Amino acid sequence: QAKRAGRETLRLFQPAMQQAIDETARREVALRRAVAHGDLQLVYQPQVNRDGLWVGCEALLRWSLLDGTVLSPAQFLPEAETTDLMPKIGDWVVRTACREIASLPKRARAARELVLGINISARQLADPRLIERILAIIQPMRFPPARLRFEISEASLFGDFERNAAILGRLDAAGIEIELDDFGSGYSSLVHLRQLPLAGVKIDQLLIAAVDTDADAAMIVRAAIGVADALSLPVIAEGVERETQRDLLLKMGCSRFQGFLFGRPMPLDTFRRAFETACT
């Protein structure tokens, strides 16, 4: 009886499983082709200081399908992370972002000093050759490591904290600054944070989303900023969409801001024009 039920289940589930496997394989082939054919793009979102001046940008990955659909990282990166594609995509992001940001007109001092934020996933961090790969990309193009800021999410550090702290130490020694992304969403204690060579923290946008409407969110943001203050770390707020959020975060002591209120993620050409307008 049990055996027959088992066989029955198998008969029912096999086609569905096979379909899921086929779909995954198909997506992987498509992504592999996209990487090879240049169908990935970066968009750039401005970051402003307390006076509203452009002081940095974050590079964000997009995948344009042939039918014009644009996929965001959440729709394809998790899958890429389980294949050998992630290091390839990671290298491509660093190379492309540095080249594109270096191509901004350098007349304005602002353009020479614009900091470039690049997201690094847990999987990338686990690559023992990460630092060699990055230096091999930026050194020949003479991109100053001090203008690079790697964004590493708070959650991704705590798998193997000791090991990740050591990797961050080596990035720091190579002159690359590190910002803790999605800060406030969980795990970090003061004791942990003070062991990391951080240049700043980015407060989780889920908290920012409700900072001006929800007392709990406001309290958590205030506490997170308190922790950063204790470590003398500058705080950047991301996902700022409204004046009321910006005003509150200014009062709370945030030093930089990013969000639709200041600019959406833009393709390089649009970013360049907006940057020139913002700087004159």
Helix, strand and coil content of the chain, in percent to the nearest 5, comes to 50, 20, 30
Position among 55, 259, 268, 271 found at the interface with ligand C2E (CB under 6 A):
259
Interaction of residue 93 with ligand C2E, rule CB under 6 A: yes
Q: Count residues near Mg ion (CB under 5 A).
A: 4
Position among 119, 121, 156, 245 found at the interface with Mg ion (CB under 5 A):
119
Interaction of residue 77 with ligand C2E, rule CB under 6 A: yes
As given in the structure block, the two tokens for residue 118 are 């690049």
Select from 30, 29, 90 the least CA-distant residue to 66: 30
Cα three-residue angle 114-115-120, rounded to 5 degrees: 150
Position among 48, 55, 57, 60 found at the interface with ligand C2E (CB under 6 A):
60
Interaction of residue 151 with ligand C2E, rule CB under 6 A: yes
As given in the structure block, the two tokens for residue 183 are 């800060």
- Distances from the Cα of 79 to the Cα of 30, 85, 86, 94, 157, angstroms: 12, 9, 9, 20, 20
Question: What gap in Å lies between CA 148 and CA 142, rounded to an integer?
Answer: 12
Residue nearer to Mg ion on the CB measure, 182 or 212: 182
Binder of residue 45, out of ligand C2E, Mg ion, none (CB less than 5 to 8 A by kind): ligand C2E
Can you say whether residue 232 is alpha, beta or left, with left for phi > 0 and alpha for psi between -120 and 50 degrees? left
As given in the structure block, the two tokens for residue 16 are 């569905």
Binder of residue 9, out of ligand C2E, Mg ion, none (CB less than 5 to 8 A by kind): none
Residue nearer to Mg ion on the CB measure, 57 or 252: 57
Token pair 């702290």 is found at 165
Smallest distance, Mg ion to C-beta of residue 25, A: 29
Cα three-residue angle 260-124-187, rounded to 5 degrees: 65
Piece in contact with ligand C2E (CB under 6 A), picked from 66-74, 141-149, 188-196, 269-277: 66-74
As given in the structure block, the two tokens for residue 149 are 């800021």
Interaction of residue 212 with ligand C2E, rule CB under 6 A: no
Piece in contact with Mg ion (CB under 5 A), picked from 20-28, 92-100, 139-147, 178-186: 178-186
Q: How would DSSP label each residue in 124-175?
A: HHT-TTHHHHHHHHHTTTT--GGGEEEEEEHHHHTSSHHHHHHHHHHHHHTT
Interaction of residue 91 with ligand C2E, rule CB under 6 A: no
Residue nearer to ligand C2E on the CB measure, 119 or 164: 119
Piece in contact with Mg ion (CB under 5 A), picked from 40-48, 112-120, 164-172, 243-251: 112-120
Position among 100, 154, 182, 212 found at the interface with Mg ion (CB under 5 A):
182
State the chain's maximal CA–CA distance in angstroms: 80
Question: What gap in Å lies between CA 225 and CA 7, rounded to an integer?
Answer: 57
Binder of residue 268, out of ligand C2E, Mg ion, none (CB less than 5 to 8 A by kind): none
Q: Count residues near ligand C2E (CB under 6 A).
A: 23
Binder of residue 234, out of ligand C2E, Mg ion, none (CB less than 5 to 8 A by kind): none
Chain residues that interact with ligand C2E, rule: CB under 6 A: 45, 60-61, 72-74, 77, 93, 119-121, 151, 181-182, 205, 238-241, 258-260, 265
Chain residues that interact with Mg ion, rule: CB under 5 A: 119, 151, 181-182
